[in-house]
A and B are shown apart, each in its own frame.
Chain A
Amino acid sequence: MRTVSTFFWRRPYWYLALLLVPPLLWFGTVYLGSLLALLWQSFYRIDDFTAQVVREPTLATYKQLVTQPANIDIVVRTATMAIAVTIACALIALPIATYMARYASGRVKAFFYVGVMLPMWTSYLVKVYAWRQLLAKEGIIAWCFDKLGMSGLLEAALATPGIGGPSLSSSYLGMFLVFVYMWLPFMILPMAAALERVPASLLQASADLGARPAQTFRNVVLPLAVPGIAAGSVFTFSLTLGDYIIPSVVGAPGYFIGMMVYVQQGTAGNIPLAAAFSVVPIVLIFVYLSIAKRFGAFDAL
Chain B
Amino acid sequence: MNAAIEFRAVARVFGDVRAVDDVSFAIEPGEFFAMLGPSGSGKTTCLRLIAGFDAPSSGQVLLDGDDVTYVPPYDRNVNTVFQDYALFPHMTVLENVAYGPRVRGVGAEARTRQAREMLELVQLAALGERRPAQLSGGQRQRVALARALINHPKVLLLDEPLGALDLKLREEMQIELKSLQKKLGITFVYVTHDQGEALSMADRVAVFNRGRIEQLAAPRELYSRPATAFVARFVGSANVADATLAAKLAGADSRPFAIRAENIQVHAESGGAPPDSVCAPGSVLAVQFHGAASRWQVQLDAGGVWSALVSEDETRRLNGLGVGARVKLCWPRAAAVSLSSGGAV
Binding site for B on A (CB under 8 A): 199, 201-202, 204-212, 215, 219-220, 223-224, 299-300
Contact = CB atoms under 8 A, between A and B. Distances in A.
Nearest to A215: B103
B317 interface: no
A204 B90 contact: no
Contact of A211 (B51, B52, B79, B103): B103
B215 interface: no
B147 A209 contact: yes
B90 A223 contact: yes
21 contacts: A199-B86, A201-B84, A201-B86, A202-B88, A204-B53, A204-B73, A204-B86, A205-B80, A205-B87, A206-B99, A208-B51, A208-B80, A208-B148, A209-B99, A209-B100, A209-B147, A210-B100, A210-B103, A210-B104, A210-B151, A223-B90
A204 B84 CA distance: 12
A299 B73 contact: no
Contacts of B73: 204, 207-208
A209 B88 CA distance: 12
B324 interface: no
Given A201-B82, A215-B103, A210 B88 contact: no
A209 B86 contact: no
Give the 6 A-B CB pairs with smallest separation, nearest first: A201-B86, A205-B86, A211-B103, A209-B100, A207-B73, A223-B90
A81 B152 CA distance: 51
Contacts of A220: 88
Contacts of A204: 51, 53, 73, 80, 82, 86
A28 B326 CA distance: 77
Interface string B40-83: 00000000000111000000000000000000111000111011
B79 A209 contact: yes
Contacts of A208: 51-53, 73-74, 78-80, 148
Contacts of A206: 88, 99, 103
Contacts of B80: 204-205, 208
B340 to A, nearest CB: 37
Contacts of A219: 88, 99, 102-103
B5 to A, nearest CB: 15
Interface in B78-116: 78-80, 82-84, 86-90, 99-100, 102-104
Nearest to A197: B89
Which of B51, B53, B89 counts the most chain A CB atoms within 10 A?
B89
Contacts of B147: 205, 209
A209 B81 CA distance: 11
B151 A209 contact: yes
A119 B73 CA distance: 40
Nearest to B104: A210
B101 to A, nearest CB: 9
A300 B74 contact: no
A230 to B, nearest CB: 13
Given A210-B74, A210-B100, A205 B90 contact: no
Nearest to A201: B86
A215 B86 CA distance: 17
Contacts of B88: 202, 205-206, 219-220
Contacts of B87: 205
Given A208-B148, A209-B74, A210-B104, 16 more contacts: A201-B86, A204-B53, A205-B82, A205-B88, A205-B147, A206-B103, A207-B74, A208-B51, A209-B79, A209-B147, A210-B103, A212-B74, A219-B88, A219-B99, A219-B102, A223-B90
Contact of A202 (B83, B86, B100): B86
Contacts of A299: 90
For A209, A210, A220, A300, which residue has the most chain B Cβ atoms within 10 angstroms? A209
A47 to B, nearest CB: 56
A299 B80 CA distance: 27
B89 A300 contact: yes
Contacts of A210: 74, 100, 103-104, 151
B90 to A, nearest CB: 5
A202 B144 CA distance: 12
A206 B84 CA distance: 14
A299 B78 CA distance: 32
Contacts of A224: 89-90
B84 A199 contact: yes
B97 to A, nearest CB: 10
Contacts of A211: 74, 99, 103
A202 B83 CA distance: 11
Max chain B Cβ within 10 angstroms of own Cβ: one of A207, A211, A220: A207
A300 B72 CA distance: 29
A208 B102 CA distance: 13
A199 B104 CA distance: 23
Interface string B203-243: 00000000000000000000000000000000000000000
A195 to B, nearest CB: 14
Contacts of B102: 219
Contacts of B78: 208
A203 to B, nearest CB: 9
Contacts of A202: 86, 88
Contacts of A209: 74, 79, 99-100, 103, 147-148, 151
A85 B223 CA distance: 67
B45 to A, nearest CB: 14
Nearest to A202: B86
B103 A300 contact: no
